[in-house]
Amino acid sequence: MRYSGLRILKEGLTGNRGWTEQWRDATPRPEYDIIVIGGGGHGLATAYYLARNHGLSNVAVLEKGYLGGGNVGRNTTIVRANYFLPGNSEFYSYSLKLWEGLERELNYNVMLSQRGQIVLFHSDAQRDAAIRRGNAMRNQGDDCELLSRADLRRMVPFLDYEQARFPIRGALLQRRAGTARHDAVAWGYARAASARGVDLIQNCAVTGIDIAGGRVRGVQTTRGAIRAGKVAIVVAGRSSEVAAMAGMRLPIESHVLQAFVTEGLKPCVNHVISFGMGHFYISQSDKGGLVFGGDLDLYASYAQRGNLPAVEHVMEAGMTLMPMIGKARVLRSWGGIMDMSPDGSPIIDRTDTQGLYLNCGWCYGGFKAVPGSGWAMAHLLATDTPHPSAARFRLDRFATGRGLMDEEGTGMQHNLH
Ligand SMILES: Cc1cc2nc3c(=O)[nH]c(=O)nc-3n(C[C@H](O)[C@H](O)[C@H](O)COP(=O)(O)OP(=O)(O)OC[C@H]3O[C@@H](n4cnc5c(N)ncnc54)[C@H](O)[C@@H]3O)c2cc1C
């Protein structure tokens, strides 16, 4: 079924009886060409682009819970392409371009809102770094503007510009950055993949990976064994756990990241704003809630809930930046499990086991990567060669030390072992 304004009108006039299920709830078949483990944003996008770009639809996505129940439905929805380092820069640039055509591509309203991201700077040194980053973004072909303090004050008058410790000096603005509706991204990819013949199998946890003669043969699941020629591990915060089923020890640590939302307010925060002197960022959802977050809880954990010291830190930073936030009541908070890599950059690569592939290390920035990652992962699975946009996301960089892309990695230190 195609979605359109006309369809809404027709259904509205006929009692909304014509809507069909968004995707088939498939039961596992004994064998597939490709199994994607993980029904998050990256897994679903991978499956969709396998079918769409490579004509491969004998594919199953195995999800241990429900589609979109992981980080893809828990993040703060920020989409941007302002990475500095070669490797990341071209990848996120590519991903943002895919975002810009995603609604038409999936025939699904993912509510992409390019409202602009403002990253504040508070010192001369930070301004220099911002200019350097801005130049890198422009060289990459992405948009970016340097805002003076006066420009900024006109755009966002409610910030505390005279903070005693961190007076705001200006900002870097990327107008094409913004937010998207996270659940809709998962649902949109799921629906489009299912329509192209991919089996989406929920409540199906992978419990083992079958390997014989150095080749992957399939997986063991809570719904029985399934054979496959190729298996992709795309499970974000659970990457170490699932890779261990294939005897691998990954350079990944799992950490909790929390987010917060207030009661609904009239529109007041029109951009995504990131504090430059503390880990705090904020935007306003279409329902009116202020959505904000900060740093990791900073110890390894698989709990999908956070702890009070991080809550206090985020609230303090928010009050420092925009004291008016103190009047809003926080309605909800939650946590997700981040797959932290040592250099803060991801992995999209083959493994030493033939037919076994890995996609992880997205840290706290993997939502914006969903289209680009799915595209590149599908390319790797279908052709056995890395997609040019993701060619540097190699697993062996942590073993050899060559090709590390240190975008402020806050996982474990790669040079300790
Ligand atoms: C609070 C918070 C804020 C964030 N904010 C942003 C942001 O603003 N911008 C941004 O770009 N990124 C952000 N992120 C990061 C982003 O959400 C993640 O990097 C990204 O969603 C991870 O990829 P995914 O969607 O595939 O993961 P997930 O949705 O977690 O998908 C992995 C799936 O694998 C499944 N799985 C695990 N083990 C198994 C198994 N054994 N068998 C079968 N299935 C299994 C899980 O159930 C899960 O559904 C944020 C994350 C959090 C938690």
Name every residue whose Cβ is closer than 8 Å to that of residue 162 and which is 6 or more positions away in sequence.
none
**Centre of ligand 1 from the C-alpha of residue 13, in Å:** 39
Q: What pTM value is reported for the model?
A: 0.96
pLDDT at 413: 45
Sign of the alpha-carbon torsion through 107, 109, 112, 115: positive
pLDDT at 416: 39
Closest CA to ligand 1's atom 19: 366
Tokens of 387: 């997609």
Ligand 1 nearest atom to the CA of residue 66, by list position: 49
Residue 12: φ, ψ to 5°? -60, -35
Beta-carbon count within 10 A of 161 CB: 14
3-state secondary structure of 358: strand
Residue 323: φ, ψ to 5°? -55, -25
pLDDT at 408: 64
3-state secondary structure of 253: strand
pLDDT tens readout for residues 158-188: 999 998 789 999 999 999 999 999 999 999 9
Decide if 372 contacts 95 (C-beta within 8 A).
Answer: yes
Q: What ranges in 115-212 are assigned the alpha helix state H?
A: 124-140, 149-155, 182-195
Kindly state the helix (H) or strand (E) to which residue 398 belongs, with its residue range: helix 397-400
**Centre of ligand 1 from the C-alpha of residue 31, in Å:** 26
Question: CA separation (Å) from 365 to 101, 195, 215, 376, 408?
Answer: 20, 28, 32, 16, 12
Question: CA separation (Å) from 188 to 104, 109, 200?
Answer: 11, 8, 13
Strand order in the sheet with 281-284: 145-148, 170-174, 117-121, 272-274, 281-284, 289-300, 253-264, 330-340
**Centre of ligand 1 from the C-alpha of residue 339, in Å:** 8
Decide if 304 contacts 74 (C-beta within 8 A).
Answer: yes
Closest CA to ligand 1's atom 51: 75
Closest CA to ligand 1's atom 53: 336
**Centre of ligand 1 from the C-alpha of residue 305, in Å:** 14
Ligand 1 nearest atom to the CA of residue 339, by list position: 19
pLDDT at 298: 85
pLDDT at 253: 94
pLDDT at 50: 98
Q: With CA atoms as reference, report the closest residue to 363 among 390, 343, 392.
A: 343
Name every residue whose Cβ is closer than 8 Å to that of residue 57 and which is 6 or more positions away in sequence.
50, 51, 196, 197, 198
Decide if 389 contacts 376 (C-beta within 8 A).
Answer: yes
pLDDT tens readout for residues 241-287: 999 999 999 999 999 999 999 999 999 999 999 999 888 999 999 99
**Centre of ligand 1 from the C-alpha of residue 365, in Å:** 10
Q: Which of the listed residues 99, 223, 235 should we mutate to test ligand 1's pocket, taking the one with most ligand atoms within 8 A of CB?
A: 235
* Protein residues whose CB sits closer than 6 Å to any atom of ligand 1: 37-43, 62-65, 69-72, 74-78, 205-206, 234-238, 242, 257-259, 293, 336, 362, 364-368
Phi-psi region of 381 (alpha: psi -120 to 50; beta: other; left: phi over 0): alpha
**Centre of ligand 1 from the C-alpha of residue 310, in Å:** 20
CB-based burial of residue 408 (10 Å sphere; 0-12 exposed, 13-18 middle, 19+ buried)?
exposed
pLDDT by position in tens, the chain (length 417):
899 999 999 999 999 999 999 999 999 999 999 999 999 999 999 999 999 999 999 999 999 999 999 999 999 999 999 999 999 999 999 999 999 999 999 999 999 999 999 999 999 999 999 999 999 999 999 999 999 999 999 999 999 999 878 999 999 999 999 999 999 999 999 999 999 999 999 999 999 999 999 999 999 999 999 999 999 999 999 999 999 999 999 999 999 999 999 999 999 999 999 999 888 999 999 999 999 999 999 889 999 889 999 999 999 999 999 999 999 999 999 999 999 999 999 999 999 999 999 999 999 999 999 999 999 999 999 999 999 999 999 999 999 999 999 876 444 444 433
**Centre of ligand 1 from the C-alpha of residue 235, in Å:** 7
pLDDT at 411: 42
Amino acid at 11: E
**Centre of ligand 1 from the C-alpha of residue 313, in Å:** 23
Rounded Cα–Cα distance for residues 374 and 323 (Å): 40
Rg (CA), the chain: 22
Sign of the alpha-carbon torsion through 399, 400, 404, 408: positive
pLDDT at 47: 98
3-state secondary structure of 389: helix
Name every residue whose Cβ is closer than 8 Å to that of residue 195 and which is 6 or more positions away in sequence.
23
Place of tokens 């309203």: 109
Ligand 1 nearest atom to the CA of residue 41, by list position: 25
Ligand 1 nearest atom to the CA of residue 369, by list position: 11
Rounded Cα–Cα distance for residues 217 and 232 (Å): 12
